Amino acid sequence: MQAECPECGATIALPAGTMANEIVACPDCGAELEVVNLDPPTLALAPEVEEDWGE
Amino acid sequence: MQAECPECGATIALPAGTMANEIVACPDCGAELEVVNLDPPTLALAPEVEEDWGE
Amino acid sequence: MSLRVSIVGASGYVGGELLRLLLDHPHVSIIQATSARNAGRYLYQVHPNLRGRTNLQFVHPDTLQPCDVLFLALPHGEAAQAIERYASLAERIIDCSADFRLRDPAVYQQWYGSAHPAPAWLERFVYGLPEVNRAALTGARYASGVGCNATATNLALLPLVEANLIDRSRPIIADVKVGSSEGGATVNEASHHPERSGAVRSFAPVGHRHLAEVEQVTGLRNVHLSITAIELVRGALATVHAFASRELSEKELWQAYRTFAREQPFIRIVKERQGIYRYPEPKILAGTNYADIGFAYEPATGRIVSICAIDNLMKGAAGSAVQCMNLMCGFAETTALTFAGLHP
Amino acid sequence: MSLRVSIVGASGYVGGELLRLLLDHPHVSIIQATSARNAGRYLYQVHPNLRGRTNLQFVHPDTLQPCDVLFLALPHGEAAQAIERYASLAERIIDCSADFRLRDPAVYQQWYGSAHPAPAWLERFVYGLPEVNRAALTGARYASGVGCNATATNLALLPLVEANLIDRSRPIIADVKVGSSEGGATVNEASHHPERSGAVRSFAPVGHRHLAEVEQVTGLRNVHLSITAIELVRGALATVHAFASRELSEKELWQAYRTFAREQPFIRIVKERQGIYRYPEPKILAGTNYADIGFAYEPATGRIVSICAIDNLMKGAAGSAVQCMNLMCGFAETTALTFAGLHP
Amino acid sequence: MSLRVSIVGASGYVGGELLRLLLDHPHVSIIQATSARNAGRYLYQVHPNLRGRTNLQFVHPDTLQPCDVLFLALPHGEAAQAIERYASLAERIIDCSADFRLRDPAVYQQWYGSAHPAPAWLERFVYGLPEVNRAALTGARYASGVGCNATATNLALLPLVEANLIDRSRPIIADVKVGSSEGGATVNEASHHPERSGAVRSFAPVGHRHLAEVEQVTGLRNVHLSITAIELVRGALATVHAFASRELSEKELWQAYRTFAREQPFIRIVKERQGIYRYPEPKILAGTNYADIGFAYEPATGRIVSICAIDNLMKGAAGSAVQCMNLMCGFAETTALTFAGLHP
Amino acid sequence: MSLRVSIVGASGYVGGELLRLLLDHPHVSIIQATSARNAGRYLYQVHPNLRGRTNLQFVHPDTLQPCDVLFLALPHGEAAQAIERYASLAERIIDCSADFRLRDPAVYQQWYGSAHPAPAWLERFVYGLPEVNRAALTGARYASGVGCNATATNLALLPLVEANLIDRSRPIIADVKVGSSEGGATVNEASHHPERSGAVRSFAPVGHRHLAEVEQVTGLRNVHLSITAIELVRGALATVHAFASRELSEKELWQAYRTFAREQPFIRIVKERQGIYRYPEPKILAGTNYADIGFAYEPATGRIVSICAIDNLMKGAAGSAVQCMNLMCGFAETTALTFAGLHP
Ligand SMILES: NC(=O)c1ccc[n+]([C@@H]2O[C@H](COP(=O)([O-])OP(=O)(O)OC[C@H]3O[C@@H](n4cnc5c(N)ncnc54)[C@H](OP(=O)(O)O)[C@@H]3O)[C@@H](O)[C@H]2O)c1
Ligand SMILES: NC(=O)c1ccc[n+]([C@@H]2O[C@H](COP(=O)([O-])OP(=O)(O)OC[C@H]3O[C@@H](n4cnc5c(N)ncnc54)[C@H](OP(=O)(O)O)[C@@H]3O)[C@@H](O)[C@H]2O)c1
Ligand SMILES: NC(=O)c1ccc[n+]([C@@H]2O[C@H](COP(=O)([O-])OP(=O)(O)OC[C@H]3O[C@@H](n4cnc5c(N)ncnc54)[C@H](OP(=O)(O)O)[C@@H]3O)[C@@H](O)[C@H]2O)c1
Ligand SMILES: NC(=O)c1ccc[n+]([C@@H]2O[C@H](COP(=O)([O-])OP(=O)(O)OC[C@H]3O[C@@H](n4cnc5c(N)ncnc54)[C@H](OP(=O)(O)O)[C@@H]3O)[C@@H](O)[C@H]2O)c1
Ligand SMILES: [Zn+2]
Ligand SMILES: [Zn+2]
């Protein structure tokens, strides 16, 4: 099962048994993605806390 | 006695008793300057060894 | 007779620098220095360089009392939130944060993502860079601080802007290198020594908020700012790449920089043909209020590289703030700001 | 069966790095390592990391003997001067200097101020950056090295150039931050630790020779290069500011970088949304042959900040040189180049 | 056939170093790497040097599954607390913490202030310093790790102890200089870059717990330990001052060090009469498993200064741990530990 | 009315520091600053921190003219060789070198390997550490400087010596960590940035000449000195391990340190139970004349660890020299020495 990262366009392999609402990380851009649909497999950016870089 | 730095245009005060061919340093740009004329006071860039900055 | 001065946010890095400067200022006495987390501790337990200089203790910010001059050195947003209270306590205020730097509330909203909490106060504050606002600061009641990266960029650009030497149709790139004290005293993952040490971190390649200040101060609209955090504690170096509006000689550029630096006690032009220190270098500015400026020019392409070095905590924050106070209160402008810096 | 390899200039920093890599290379044996000043000393007396790895001693360059592959790691000009002699001793040569990098003798003369001493050799040398010249390097007899600052700049630019995303009518600024090992092992006033430590030195705001290599490799004519030396021993970071030729999405940029990185064993794309290491960072590349590339894009202005980090002594010199040797001699391209780098 | 290995505490510095080493180990496969805070993230988002090396993701420690070899790299006390669970999951365990280093529960209680949570397990663990325990480690099921400062001190002392050259009636002072990675990956006020940078911090002038390990390993009772944290990320240097039990010649000392170093693949003697690297230097050991040892002797006073340099994360932690695994599992002792280190 | 002061060796690091201090001294005017290599250059071309402070140019030492106070900051041996000439030019001399520090010509010969060139002058010079010699320095004509490592060690030991708390039958180990400016401004292989950076170099494990000064000042005969060069430009930290002559309480130790520090304007006791700066730390002393002292005590073993931090160029050289001048000339002792130091 494959899906595309909405942020960077990476092709992400979803392991068998992936469920809706699960969170996966994009291996390329690190975005945290929510599985919003399984048929077809669709990912959306999960809400993220903007981290402070501290400078 | 005043002269102009040919490099940066600084006004350079030449002390009384300055002689032709003397070398003075420009206080602004650091150029080493030769007194090529005294009347009017005129400065020219003295030949410089290009220092290696080393990178 | 001494003015009574207080510092809110005195446990931070800008606050600490204000303490260091004001303790040696002949015309003021520090009456309160606040820190919620360190209330009751001696100043020197947080700022060890002040040991032997003062036995003052931090007080909680809630206990702040009336004073003549109030310095605010707080995280973003805190000063604007409480400005009425602070103004009720002090005749004069110098706020080191970004809260009162921008004149236009719309610009504030654009860059900070929410409406300004006290927009009426924006016009009461004079932008606290004496090099451009000396007249307005003289006798003023309220001064904002300056952004450190903005200041390095502005002081690199102003000689060229004032002499009208920049081609405004071509982009201007300000690539600023900064030290870790810019982030303040609060610990975070990014500032953990094993990670931060030796880093060359592309901290803000795009989108840095100080651009708003650069546009306000220089009037330019084609400046592009990037910030890289490097191995350094204090210091910022702006390398600003611009293009000449016409063919130039080196002498004309010298002239522009000299004109800008004239009568500015803390601006020095650094451009040497030999030696190790040919251009502005932040490492020798630690603790000083100087902004060193210099340039390189490439006739074949018309590129001017204008360079400015500062200590972010001094000319980029506390130093300029004290310089503002001197102007606001009628003291000699350089009072308490004369430390020459160290070599090596 | 092992190839017999020699290194001329083995006491230098590039030479030392070649020694480190080649001692662990399964298909070659080092037979000679030259140094005039250290002839007779053990390699590990100069390169202490090699202690326990080899009991080889430096030999004087005059005693150089025939070998299969010869690496030259000499100061500028020395390789070109003596290329006939070196070519008579070795079937294959990899020269790490700038002597054979430029294809056009006229360009060489323009940047180096004198005619090339052996212009006929220029076309025999393949420019030694496998990422752009893999096919030509495969089986080649002569390869040049690469410039470290040029390589960081080129690898930042190439993804954009190959995807044709850059507006060539607007200037491209490459602001490169570099460590002290770029200057080599020879001591000078500028490298004295108390002076160099903590420096943010505008080493070459304009006029850096590596621009010639950038123009040759990218085909661009509007690149402007500035080099700032920072507190770092190994490493170079190129921050390259370019403008998009049209409106772009982040995904298109990702696509361009992925296309460039595909099949390149030493190119990694680094662009993270969180964590400390969001963009390429030279500090984690020390000793590795990676070039990490990444980018930030500002839709409102069209500015693309393309960032490349390398270890100047590896991908910027000895690492690429060994990668070239692997291609020239038919070894697996990554042989002896697999060190992962350290964190923290 | 590969052994299946897991690492608990893989987001830490010792854990990260284990990952780096084990990913290149030809006889093992990493099946799980745990981190509660980073579960679901890719290893390279925390350890950026592993980018391109593995696509493994951190898993929560609660999901730990059975494996052949389990490495524990946890904060003090955590391994002892849960040792029964870990032992139920893995045939072999290597614990990098101090929990199972001391043989005597009473000594543990004295130094750690509370009774050991699993005293029965103390005798099942072999102290994991191959240089003194090679035979016991060969084939062992459980090995403790080593203390980094203890190891630098022990390896400085052992050549003298084994040759019986130390006057035990006079104090032995071990003054150890250490880098910031000793503190692990967790951020704290003391590790904030502006504070930690350039520090020469008397971290533990007296009372450092590693003394217990020194006494256990050397059998000495008159060692006094002090730790100073200096500007360095990786590395520890022990400067150990002891007095000779009788008049000695330099040759006798050389003999003692040679005897100790013989057959030890990771011990090198460093004592040069010229050059820059005359004594052990941690900076060239970053990433390597070497312990470099050397000495200076002052005939007039009988003082021997014995010096040992290590990388605290390697020979002082993960490197020794992998060396232990190699011995426990019958692999060649140096497998995956052959990185030579960098110069400069 | 100002005293006329000259500095021989003004291009060096001690000379540069003297310039910085004396330019701000209200009671003196610098009339000459010598450098053979830089004659004719502006002081700020060598010491960039002095830009804007003075337009003085270096003069050749041969052109030295009479003055009121002469500072000598020359390499070892040069002052002694030419002392008659210098004394003919100046009423008062302060020599920063080691040439006139030792009282006993025999001790000089023992440590420096040759007879003193001007032994009659030894008794005319007062050893220039005001903390021990204030009375003798007051009004004196000739003062020697101090050794930086000696001073850190002496000031760590003196509180204990004066209170008679040290067991003289057991060895005292002084393990001193130092920065690179101790080596002066002259470049050499060991100071090349890529080599010196990050080093933990056992520079003088035994045999350091400053021991002679320690013995002279403290009267102790069982001190053992080792110097390790670390990543630092300015600063020295002495970690001195001694044993108590009897059972002690912490209070007694506090008492001893307080007694020593009383009336000493530049001695501060640093011993905190919390915070980051618990013991003396050289990094916050850069540019200041303070010597911070502190201690840790281990009742079980009787070990006292006495710690002293200084800036080697200030309290360890130029700062003490100016303090001496103030005493010799009747100025307030702290004049021109009040810079507080920076944090962070
Ligand atoms: N660092 C620079 O280079 C720099 C340069 C230019 C401008 N600035 C600006 O200067 C300001 C201070 O920066 P910094 O680096 O000094 O920050 P900092 O080190 O983080 O210090 C912040 C200070 O604010 C106090 N504080 C926090 N919240 C408060 C509140 N609600 N009320 C009262 N006090 C509060 C803290 O005290 P506690 O001890 O109670 O936490 C601390 O003393 C910021 O606005 C910054 O943008 C900084
Ligand atoms: N450093 C970098 O980051 C870097 C990156 C890319 C390319 N490069 C290029 O690589 C080359 C070497 O750089 P480096 O940094 O390694 O320099 P380096 O440290 O100064 O080493 C130079 C070496 O050349 C030897 N040498 C000098 N003159 C020689 C001669 N006439 N014949 C034979 N050997 C001679 C020296 O040996 P002795 O012991 O006899 O003096 C030394 O081994 C340069 O061309 C440089 O431009 C360097
Ligand atoms: N650093 C050195 O130089 C060194 C040298 C020798 C020995 N050691 C020893 O090695 C051990 C690890 O040191 P370090 O420096 O790597 O520490 P560190 O960087 O702080 O890492 C600690 C690791 O333990 C994990 N962890 C914390 N509590 C846990 C729990 N209850 N269960 C499971 N995992 C837990 C953390 O994971 P999360 O991501 O979930 O927080 C993190 O991965 C320590 O015992 C230390 O004494 C360290
Ligand atoms: N560095 C420290 O931390 C420290 C601490 C305590 C004491 N000291 C002592 O202070 C003295 C100076 O040390 P430094 O570190 O400042 O050394 P430095 O940086 O090497 O400076 C030496 C100075 O002496 C000048 N000079 C050399 N030979 C001379 C001669 N024959 N006649 C006149 N001038 C001569 C040099 O001038 P040119 O420009 O003409 O070469 C230079 O200005 C030394 O004796 C040192 O032991 C140093
Ligand atoms: Zn993605
Ligand atoms: Zn000029």
* Sign of torsion over alpha carbons C150, C151, C156, C162: positive
pLDDT interval class at A52 (50, 70, 90): low
Nearest CA in chain A to E58: A25
- CB F285 near ligand 4, within 6 Å: no
Q: Considering only CA atoms, which of D150, D308, D170 is closest in space to residue D242?
A: D170
Measured CA distances, E173 to B48, E226, E302, F80, F305 (Å): 55, 8, 14, 38, 11
- pLDDT higher at B54 or B46: B46
Mean pLDDT for C125-137 is 98
Edge-to-edge, what's the strand order for the sheet holding C142-144?
C28-33, C3-8, C67-72, C90-95, C142-144
Best of E51, E58, E307 to substitute, by most chain D Cβ atoms within 10 angstroms, is E51
- Quote the minimal CA–CA distance from D178 to chain B in Å: 9
Instruction: Indicate the DSSP class of residue F302.
Output: T
Which ligand 2 atom is nearest residue D36's CA? 40
Task: Determine, for residues D344 and E181 on separate chains, whether the beta-carbon distance falls below 8 Å.
Answer: yes
Are D175 and D284 found together in one domain?
Answer: yes
Q: Please give the model's pTM, rounded to 2 decimal places.
A: 0.98
- Quote the minimal CA–CA distance from C77 to chain D in Å: 24
C281 contacts on F by Cβ (under 8 Å): 48
Q: What is the secondary structure of F234-293 as a DSSP string?
A: S-EEEEEEEEBSS---HHHHHHHHHHHHTT-TTEEE---SSSS--S--GGGGTT---EEE
- Quote the minimal CA–CA distance from C75 to chain A in Å: 12
Mean pLDDT for C1-5 is 92
* Sign of torsion over alpha carbons D342, E3, E7, E10: positive
Task: Give Cβ neighbours of residue D98 (< 8 Å, ≥ 6 apart).
Answer: D76, D112, D144, D145, D147, D209, D213
Instruction: Indicate the DSSP class of residue B48.
Output: -
- Quote the minimal CA–CA distance from C188 to chain D in Å: 10
Task: Determine, for residues D197 and F193 on separate chains, whether the beta-carbon distance falls below 8 Å.
Answer: yes
Asked if the model's pLDDT at residue B55 lies above 50, the reply is no
Which ligand 4 atom is nearest residue F81's CA? 31
pLDDT digits (tens, 9 = 90+) for E276-321: 999 999 999 999 999 999 999 999 999 999 999 999 999 999 999 9
Is there a domain that residue E141 lies in?
A: no
Token pair belonging to C149: 């990266």
Is there a domain that residue C190 lies in?
A: yes
Burial-class residue E330 by CB neighbours within 10 Å (0-12, 13-18, 19+): exposed
Q: Are D115 and D251 in contact (CB under 8 A)?
A: no
Count of alpha carbons within 13 Å of C15, Cβ hemisphere only? 24
Which residues of E are part of the catalytic machinery?
Answer: 148
Q: What CATH number does the domain containing C220 carry?
A: 3.30.360.10
- CB D313 near ligand 2, within 6 Å: yes
Which ligand 3 atom is nearest residue E312's CA? 3
Specify the long-range contacts of residues F76-85, CB closer than 8 Å, at least 24 apart: F76/F112, F77/F117, F78/F9, F80/F116, F80/F117, F80/F118, F80/F121, F81/F117, F81/F118, F83/F118, F83/F121, F84/F118
Are E174 and E86 found together in one domain?
Answer: no
Q: Which residue segments constitute the domains of chain A, with CATH numbers given?
A: 2-45 (2.20.28.160)
Report the neighbours of D using a cutoff of 3 or more CB pairs below 8 angstroms: A, B, C, E, F
| pLDDT recorded at residue A55 | 46
pLDDT interval class at C68 (50, 70, 90): very high
- CB E16 near ligand 3, within 6 Å: no
Are D192 and D297 found together in one domain?
Answer: yes
Helices (H), F115-185: 130-137, 148-162
Minimum CA distance residue for ligand 2 atom 46: D97
- Domain boundary, last residue among C125, C140, C162: C125
CA distance linking residue D30 with residue F292, whole number of Å? 54
Q: Could you tell me whether strands F291-298 and D142-144 are parallel, antiparallel, or unpaired per DSSP bridges? A: unpaired
Pocket perturbation via mutation, ligand 3, pick of E59, E63, E96 by most ligand atoms within 8 A of CB: E96
| Nearest neighbour of E171 by CB, restricted to F226, F243, F279 | F243
Q: What is the secondary structure of E188-228 as a DSSP string?
A: -GGGBHHHHTT--EEEESS--THHHHHHHHH--S-EEEEEE
Q: Considering only CA atoms, which of E193, D286, D198, D238 is closest in space to residue C226?
A: D238
Helices (H), chain E: 13-23, 43-46, 78-81, 83-89, 105-112, 130-137, 148-162, 193-196, 210-218, 250-261, 319-329
Ligand 2 centre distance from Cα of residue D30 (Å) = 18
E46 contacts on C by Cβ (under 8 Å): none
Q: What is the secondary structure of E225-255 as a DSSP string?
A: EEEEE-S-SS-EEEEEEEEBSS---HHHHHH
Is there a domain that residue C220 lies in?
A: yes
D190 contacts on C by Cβ (under 8 Å): 276
Task: Determine, for residues F171 and E276 on separate chains, whether the beta-carbon distance falls below 8 Å.
Answer: no
Tens digits of pLDDT across chain D (344 residues): 799 999 999 999 999 999 999 999 999 999 999 999 999 999 999 999 999 999 999 999 999 999 999 999 999 999 999 999 999 999 999 999 999 999 999 999 999 999 999 999 999 999 999 999 999 999 999 999 999 999 999 999 999 999 999 999 999 999 999 999 999 999 999 999 999 999 999 999 999 999 999 999 999 999 999 999 999 999 999 999 999 999 999 999 999 999 999 999 999 999 999 999 999 999 999 999 999 999 999 999 999 999 999 999 999 999 999 999 999 999 999 999 999 999 99
Is there a domain that residue C326 lies in?
A: no
Which ligand 3 atom is nearest residue E15's CA? 16
CA distance linking residue F299 with residue F316, whole number of Å? 32
- Quote the minimal CA–CA distance from C272 to chain B in Å: 5
Which ligand 4 atom is nearest residue F317's CA? 6
| pLDDT recorded at residue B47 | 81
* Sign of torsion over alpha carbons F270, F274, F275, F278: positive
Pocket perturbation via mutation, ligand 2, pick of D6, D13, D312 by most ligand atoms within 8 A of CB: D13
Is there a domain that residue F326 lies in?
A: no
Nearest CA in chain E to C187: E192
Task: Give Cβ neighbours of residue D303 (< 8 Å, ≥ 6 apart).
Answer: C171, C206, C224, D241, D242, D243, D244, D297
Are F71 and F190 found together in one domain?
Answer: no
Give the residue numbers in C contacting A (CB under 8 Å), as ranges. Answer: 178, 180, 182-183, 186, 188-191, 203, 227, 229
Is there a domain that residue E334 lies in?
A: no
Token pair belonging to C199: 């880093």
Ligand 1 centre distance from Cα of residue C183 (Å) = 9
CA distance linking residue D26 with residue E123, whole number of Å? 43
Report the neighbours of C using a cutoff of 3 or more CB pairs below 8 angstroms: A, B, D, E, F
The answer to whether B and E touch (≥3 CB pairs < 8 Å) is: no
Is there a domain that residue C341 lies in?
A: no
| Nearest neighbour of C233 by CB, restricted to E181, E188, E194 | E194
CA distance linking residue D14 with residue D19, whole number of Å? 9
B48 contacts on C by Cβ (under 8 Å): 273-274
Q: Is E12 annotated as a binding residue?
A: yes
- Mark which residues 34-53 of A lie under 8 Å from C by CB: 52-53
Is there a domain that residue E322 lies in?
A: no
Residue with tokens 């800036």, as numbered in its chain = F311
Are D121 and D153 found together in one domain?
Answer: no
Measured CA distances, F101 to F92, F123, F129, F206 (Å): 16, 10, 10, 21
pLDDT interval class at B54 (50, 70, 90): very low
Q: Please tell me whether residue C209 adopts helix, strand or coil conformation.
A: coil
| pLDDT recorded at residue A1 | 85
Nearest CA in chain C to F185: C344
CA distance linking residue C200 with residue C188, whole number of Å? 17
CA distance linking residue C81 with residue C99, whole number of Å? 9
Are C205 and C94 found together in one domain?
Answer: no
Nearest CA in chain D to A51: D274
pLDDT digits (tens, 9 = 90+) for E102-117: 999 999 999 999 999 9
Size of interface D-F (CB pairs under 8 A): 54
Task: Give Cβ neighbours of residue D150 (< 8 Å, ≥ 6 apart).
Answer: D210, D211, D213, D214, D217
Token pair belonging to E178: 């250490």
Task: Determine, for residues D180 and F198 on separate chains, whether the beta-carbon distance falls below 8 Å.
Answer: no
Mean pLDDT for F207-233 is 97
AA letter at D162: E
Asked if the model's pLDDT at residue A54 lies above 70, the reply is no
Q: Are F313 and F234 in contact (CB under 8 A)?
A: yes
Helices (H), C83-209: 83-89, 105-112, 130-137, 148-162, 193-196
Q: Is D214 annotated as a binding residue?
A: no
| Nearest neighbour of D343 by CB, restricted to E16, E281, E284 | E16
AA letter at C126: V
The partner residues of F226 in beta bridges, in order of sequence, read F175
**∠F234-F240-F246 over CA atoms, to 5°?**
155
| pLDDT recorded at residue A49 | 61
The partner residues of B33 in beta bridges, in order of sequence, read B24, B45
Q: Is D11 annotated as a binding residue?
A: yes
D67, D148, D308, D324: the active-site residue: D148
The partner residues of C39 in beta bridges, in order of sequence, read none
AA letter at E76: H
Token pair belonging to F90: 């100046």
Best of D178, D206, D208, D221 to substitute, by most chain C Cβ atoms within 10 angstroms, is D206
Domain with F40 in it: 3-125
CB atoms closer than 10 angstroms to residue E284? 28
| pLDDT recorded at residue B51 | 53
Q: Could you tell me what percent of chain D has a pLDDT over 70?
A: 100
Are D161 and D197 found together in one domain?
Answer: yes
Pocket perturbation via mutation, ligand 4, pick of F47, F96, F324 by most ligand atoms within 8 A of CB: F96
A9 contacts on D by Cβ (under 8 Å): 251, 254-255
Are F169 and F308 found together in one domain?
Answer: yes
AA letter at A37: N
Ligand 4 centre distance from Cα of residue F73 (Å) = 5
Are E88 and E201 found together in one domain?
Answer: no
B30 in contact with chain F, both atoms CB, cutoff 8 A = yes
Are D24 and D98 found together in one domain?
Answer: yes
| Nearest neighbour of E276 by CB, restricted to F195, F276, F283 | F195
Chain mean position to CA B7: 9
Q: Are C47 and F343 in contact (CB under 8 A)?
A: yes
Are F116 and F226 found together in one domain?
Answer: no
Task: Give Cβ neighbours of residue F293 (< 8 Å, ≥ 6 apart).
Answer: F155, F156, F159, F257, F260, F261, F267, F268, F269, F270, F280, F306, F307, F308
Are D207 and D240 found together in one domain?
Answer: yes
Q: Considering only CA atoms, which of F73, F13, F5, F9 is closest in space to residue F233?
A: F13
Ligand 5 centre distance from Cα of residue A30 (Å) = 6
Provide the domain count of chain F. 2
**∠E242-E244-E247 over CA atoms, to 5°?**
155
Q: Considering only CA atoms, which of F200, F241, F63 is closest in space to residue E234?
A: F200
Q: How many residues does chain B have?
A: 55
Q: Considering only CA atoms, which of C231, C223, C228, C214 is closest in space to residue C177?
A: C228
- Domain boundary, last residue among C74, C90, C125: C125
Asked if the model's pLDDT at residue E135 lies above 80, the reply is yes
CA distance linking residue D232 with residue C230, whole number of Å? 9
Q: Are D325 and D128 in contact (CB under 8 A)?
A: no
Q: Are D320 and D129 in contact (CB under 8 A)?
A: yes
Q: Where are the beta strands (DSSP E) in chain F?
A: 3-8, 28-33, 67-72, 90-95, 142-144, 172-178, 201-204, 223-229, 236-243, 267-269, 291-298, 303-310
- Quote the minimal CA–CA distance from D7 to chain E in Å: 17
Residue with tokens 């982009």, as numbered in its chain = C171
- CB D179 near ligand 2, within 6 Å: no
